[in-house]
Amino acid sequence: MPATIEGSIKNSFSLPLSEIKKIIKDFHSEMCRGISGKKSSLKMISTYVNKPTGKERGKFLALDLGGTNFRILEIELKGDGKILPGKEKKFVLAKHHISGEGRKLFDFISGCIKKFCSEQGIKTYEQRKIGFTFSFPVRQTGIAKGVLLHWTKDFSASGVVGQDVVRLMNEALIRNGLRNIKIAALVNDTVGTLAAAAYQDQDCDVGVIIGTGTNACYQGKVKRMIINIEWGGFNKLRRTYYDELLDKSSNNSGQQMLEKMVSGMYLGEIARLAIQDLIKKQRIFKGQRNGFNLAKSFKSEHLSEVETDNSVNLSGINIILKKMGLKSSTLQERKTIKVICHAVSERGARISAAVLAAVITKIDPALCRRHTVAVDGSVYAKHPGFANHMKSALREIFGKRTGRLNLVLAKDGSGIGGAIIASLAASGNNQ
C-alpha cells in the first residue's frame, strides 16, 4: 500500500495553526455582522436570559427536545449552587413525529408530559412552570417567545418553521387538559448547558454542545444577556471534495457547514465518502463487494470503534470491515481506514477549538481572566481523543494563557439548565 495514500488523506483534512488563525478572524467578522443585523452565517440570537446567580431555589420542570430522544425532568434547586437531581423519563419520537404534521408532534410531546406527571405524582391542577430546551435555530423575541427559523438534524415536521414554538407547545398542553402547566422559558441546549454550569461556577460564561449537532453561546456584554451563536451555520471554512459531496446529498444543502464537519451526525459519513473514493479508485479492497457505497452505512460510532482499536493486527477494524461486507483486508488497508477516521475526527476537534477560541477572544481579547467553558454532547464526551485534540489545539493558539481556560464536561447540562432558566423566568430574573 503506497504511503502516499495516507499522506494525501492527512493533508486533505489537516488544519494547521495558520488556518486556525484565519478561522478565528473570519468567525469574529461573522459575529460582528450577525450582532449588527447584517447578513451572516452566524445568527447571534438574543436569548433574553441572564446567567443564574446560584441562589435560585425551588422545584421546576424541564422538557429537553434536541433529537429523536427527548426527556422530561424535575429538578430541585437548593441555593448555594446546589442541585438535587429529581425525577426523569426519556421518550422516543418516531419517524412520523419528526417528519409529519407539527401539530401531531407537539400533541405527542404534551401527551408524554401528561404521562410523566401522572407517573410521578405531580399535581397538574397546580400552576407549574416548564423550561423548554429546544435545540433548533429559533429567533427569540422574549424569554418565552421564539420562531423556528429552520429545522436541523433531519427534523422536517410541517407547519412549525416560521411559528412560535412556545405557542404551539402551550396550545398542545391545553388540548391535553394541562391548562395549569405552561412553558415559562424557551431555552437552547447550549444556553441550558451554560446555565447549569454557571449555577455552580460563576466563572462560566460559554456553553458548547458537540454531539449529534453542534452550537455555542456566551454571556454577552450588552444587557448581560446570553447570546446563542448558532455556530453550526458558520460557512467560512475550507472544504474538501468529501465535504462537498456530503453537503450536496444532505437535505439542507448549503446550510450548517461547520456542523457537517464537526458533529456526530456527519463524521462517519465524511469518513465513508473518503473510503468509498479510495475503493472506486481501486487503491484499497480491490475487486471486493462492500457496503461503503450505501449512504450513512458507516456511522460515527464506527469511527470511534476504529480509533480505539490498538491491537497489533487491528482485529477490531477487521470485524467492522467484515460487517461492511468485505471478506478480507490487509493490515495496511486496515491502517489506512484508521488514518482516515483519525484525520476526520481530529479535524473536527481542531475546528471546534478554533471557533471556541474565537468566542473566548470576542469576550476577552487578551485572555486576561479565567473562563469556564461548559461542554456537553456525545462527541466531546465519548469520542476517543476528541476532547484532547481540542485542548491541544487551544494550547497551540493561546500558549501559556491556556491555563486560564477551564473546559468542563457539563453532563446533562441542557436539561438541568432548562429547569434553572424556568426558575429565572418565575422570579423575573431575566430580560
Catalytic center residues: 153, 189
Alpha-carbon distance 42 to 24, whole Å? 13
Contact 127, 180 (CB under 8 A): yes
Alpha-carbon distance 342 to 340, whole Å? 5
Residue 380: closest CA among 264, 279, 269: 264
- DSSP-derived letter for residue 231 is G
Contact 179, 401 (CB under 8 A): no
How do 181-187 and 226-228 pair as beta strands? unpaired
- DSSP-derived letter for residue 90 is E
| Set of cell numbers at residue 22 | 484565519
Contact 343, 376 (CB under 8 A): no
Residue where the block lists cell 427527548: 70
How do 88-92 and 69-79 pair as beta strands? antiparallel
Give the strand order in the sheet containing 45-46: 45-46, 226-228, 214-219, 204-210, 371-376, 405-409
Contact 210, 263 (CB under 8 A): yes
Alpha-carbon distance 188 to 99, whole Å? 21
The SS3 assignment for 58 reads strand
